[in-house]
């Protein structure tokens, strides 16, 4: 198997492409696991899922959602962007299926196609769930409190 340096000249150990693929699969599994915690009638943001799952960007979460099979049990439709809108698809418009599913769950949209995050925002997974699933709660709380994290909210009543 061909190996490459993670960052040439930095002294970091070699990384195989197989290890990278395994790490991405594990990250996608965590993204899906976290997304399953969003209840019907609530929405989470790509950034919020990224924060909890340990993804370094909201785009990674969007890619994981886009790769899901049609018959998946992951509630992909409950994940929206930080502006409260359904993300724009490749064809240039919002996904009508996503909007349909959210409306069936009682989520309302304004004339600009936004949801009121003050009403339907998912507060994040419970502390008990995080603990039971091996998440570093202190690290999550610190990362969630950093400035500049648009669209990320958690309501862990400490």
Ramachandran class of 113: left when φ > 0, alpha when ψ lies in -120 to 50, beta otherwise: left
pLDDT digits (tens, 9 = 90+) for 15-48: 676 777 777 889 999 999 999 999 999 999 999 9
Task: Report percent pLDDT > 90 for the chain.
Answer: 51
Cβ–Cβ < 8 Å for 107, 115: yes
pLDDT digits (tens, 9 = 90+) for 47-67: 999 999 988 889 999 999 988
Going 27 to 30 to 35 to 38, the CA torsion angle's sign is negative
pLDDT at 153: 56
pLDDT at 35: 98
H/E stretch holding 79: strand 79-80
Q: Provide the greatest CA pair distance for the chain.
A: 54
Q: Which fold has domain 16-144?
A: Arc Repressor Mutant, subunit A (1.10.10)
Strands 44-45 and 79-80: parallel
- 3-class secondary structure, 43: strand
pLDDT at 13: 56
* Chain centroid offset of residue 135 CA: 15
């Amino acid at each position: 198997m061909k190996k490459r340096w993670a960052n040439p000249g930095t002294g970091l150990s070699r990384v195989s492409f197989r290890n990278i693929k395994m790490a991405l699969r594990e990250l996608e599994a965590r993204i899906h696991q976290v997304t399953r915690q969003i209840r019907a009638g609530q929405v989470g943001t790509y950034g919020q899922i990224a924060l909890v799952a340990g993804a370094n960007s909201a785009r990674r979460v969007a890619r994981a959602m886009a790769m899901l099979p049609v018959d998946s049990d992951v509630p992909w439709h409950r994940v929206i962007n930080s502006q409260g809108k359904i993300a724009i698809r490749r064809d240039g418009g919002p996904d009508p299926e996503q909007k349909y599913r959210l409306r069936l769950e009682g989520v309302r949209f304004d004339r600009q196609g936004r949801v009121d995050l003050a009403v339907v925002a998912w507060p994040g997974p419970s502390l008990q769930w995080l603990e039971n699933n091996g998440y570093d709660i202190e690290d999550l709380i610190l990362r969630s409190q950093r400035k500049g994290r648009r669209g990320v909210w958690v309501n862990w009543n400490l």
